[in-house]
Structure 1
Amino acid sequence: MRDRSGRPVADTSPVAETVPFRYAAVGDSFTEGVGDPRPNGQMRGWADLVAEGIANTLRTPIGYANVAIRGRLLDPIVDDQLPTVLNLDPPPTLVTFNGGGNDMLRPNFDVGTLGERTEEAIGACAAAGVRLVLLSGPDPSSRLPFGSAVGVRGAQYTAVLADLAQRHDVTFVDLFNTTALAHPGYWSSDRIHLNPQGHRRVAAEVLATVLEVTSDVTHPPAEASPRPWDAVTFGCNHLLPWVIRHARGRSSGDLIEPKHDDWEVIGPATLR
């Protein structure tokens, strides 16, 4: 740690002094927690729940940072978000990495390039001595009007992630092929983001893989019967705004700031 003149100074931050474990999350809307809003409008999501679960399991407060922002492509996640968390002082103990979902919606999708960028992220974490956990996003393709192409791309990218994880001995949480997450009761009305129950299911999957602890699994509510106007509502409220935004070269995350761009000391129930 250095002062404004660049001279080294002692690190007196609460995180450096008090917590033995620090968890940082990078990614897009999935990791930001879109679909699981708190009463104040800020998103919670699976990563917040994982942080709380780690604190519960270790029975001690931990440091938590989350710089994920909705709409982000894989390049800025690797080039901007990951260096941000790896340069935190003190550095993270664990980083969860997910991205590529927005790239799958672009016409210039290239699974080879996504694999190369992900491998760069793996190398950066290894060089920093930080444990990395890769996640594939859950599969939204059955609910989307262009879902078949997204499903094929998602399966291709998930296979690449699984191969990278095996070759580099990195923990991999395969949510794309987690059958339970296909249940419609886990998804928001926009058909592409999980709802609160879905985020809780993902948190349980991550905690079971990373810490080998069993969490309570939130089962989805019974699926409501489709209504004749559901497709129209989806088109007007979600699909059309997405098309207009991308035609203008804009992103849903253009005005969004990271919710935790430095360490937050949390304990059980802190983030609820």
Structure 2
Amino acid sequence: MEPNSGSWTSYSRYVALGDSQTEGIGDPDGMGGHRGWADRFAELLDAAYPGLHYANLAVRGRRAGQIRDEQLESAVALDPDLVTVMAGMNDLIRPRFDRKSLLTDLDIVFGTLIDTGATVVTFTYPDIGGVAPLVRPLSPRIYALNDDLRMLAEEHGVVLIDVEPVEATAHPLVWADDRLHLNPLGHDLVARAVADALALPGSGDTWRDPLPRTPSTYWHTLAAESVWATRYLLPWVGRRLRGHSAGTGLYPKRPDLLPVLL
């Protein structure tokens, strides 16, 4: 389904499903928690249509199968009229990436949510190889997953926000130091993208605007990659080898539909 048809439908019950990006990692709320693009979008939606109730079921580290098993039933029970789903990246970065299983999980999630009558929104992914050169071998997987997401969105009538061709989404300025999560600027960009896709009053396509170039020398890049690998990549690999996840033992930050408080 093409985003932003030029008309706006009001929503009163918004539920967000996903992993760390939707939970809001990389966007501290100043009180020891995380804000994130879904919180930011909920604020935009509530400003346009006061009285919105919003739940966020996302938990960091969750793969698509876990989102299906842990979040889908709860989301349906909340009877939302708007749902966002950001899922698949935690599957894609695993060494034993099972594309078939991922597509099956996404197909079930999208189909189940669409059957409730809710508007469902999902996303393609930017090429993280442009943000973290050491992981460029994953780029072909990302492009293939994006093609799959386009196909599934078309089949189910899901609103697709296609961020892959938008250069700003792979710009270093919108990513946190770990290069795995968006920073506040990046979370704001995604919130504005969702508002644009749903044609909220006052929204626009400025999230697509190019960002300033950040030139660097070969030696600067090499040094930055070395620091990043030591500080973030190797610890992440170590956790995966031990079977640990950043989300182990954690629960959704906002499991119930509650008013949006600014």
TM-score by length of 2: 0.86
Q: Distance in 1 between matches of 2:162 and 2:192?
A: 13
Which residue in the other structure is 1:183 paired with?
171
Matches within 5 A, 1:192-271: 192-213=180-201, 214=203, 217=207, 223=214, 225=216, 226=220, 229-266=223-260, 270=262
Which residue in the other structure is 1:63 paired with?
53
Q: Distance in 1 between matches of 2:168 and 2:244?
A: 33
Which residue in the other structure is 2:5 paired with?
none
Matched residue type, 2:247: G
Report the CA distance shift for 1:221/1:45 in structure 2 as closer, same or farther (over 3 A): farther
Which residue in the other structure is 1:79 paired with?
69
- The CA deviation at 1:220 is 5.5
Matches within 5 A, 1:11-50: 21-50=12-41
- The CA deviation at 1:156 is 0.6
- The CA deviation at 1:266 is 1.1
Q: Per-residue CA shift, 1:209-258, capped at 9, x if unaligned?
A: 02354256598576375476423321222112101111110001113321
Q: Distance in 1 between matches of 2:37 and 2:98?
A: 27
- After TM superposition, the structure 1 stretch with the greater mean CA deviation from structure 2, 177-186 or 63-72, is 177-186
Matched residue type, 1:39: G
Q: Per-residue CA shift, 1:155-200, capped at 9, x if unaligned?
A: 1111111111112222111123322212111111111211110111
SS at match of 1:64: strand
Q: Distance in 2 between matches of 1:246 and 1:183?
A: 27
- The CA deviation at 1:139 is 2.7
SS at match of 1:207: helix
SS at match of 1:102: helix
Q: Percent identity?
A: 36
- After TM superposition, the structure 1 stretch with the greater mean CA deviation from structure 2, 142-151 or 160-169, is 142-151
TM-score by length of 1: 0.83
| Contact 1:187-1:193 within 8 A present in 2 as well | yes
| Contact 1:67-1:258 within 8 A present in 2 as well | yes
> What is the CA RMSD across the aligned residues, in angstroms?
2.2
Q: Distance in 2 between matches of 1:114 and 1:177?
A: 23
SS at match of 1:23: strand
Q: Please list every run of at least 4 consecutive aligned residues from structure 1 whose deviation after the TM superposition is greater than 6 angstroms.
A: none
Which residue in the other structure is 1:164 paired with?
152
Which residue in the other structure is 1:13 paired with?
none
SS at match of 2:87: coil
| Contact 1:139-1:175 within 8 A present in 2 as well | no
Q: Distance in 2 between matches of 1:83 and 1:138?
A: 29
SS at match of 1:38: coil
Is 1:103 aligned to 2:91, yes or no?
yes
- The CA deviation at 1:107 is 2.0
Q: Distance in 1 between matches of 2:37 and 2:126?
A: 12
- The CA deviation at 1:108 is 2.1
Report the CA distance shift for 1:139/1:228 in structure 2 as closer, same or farther (over 3 A): closer
| Contact 1:185-1:222 within 8 A present in 2 as well | no
Higher Cα Rg, which structure: 1
| Contact 2:19-2:87 within 8 A present in 1 as well | yes
Which residue in the other structure is 1:135 paired with?
123
Q: Distance in 2 between matches of 1:96 and 1:116?
A: 18
SS at match of 1:106: coil
**Unaligned segments of structure 1, at least 5 residues:** 1-18
Q: Distance in 2 between matches of 1:100 and 1:73?
A: 6
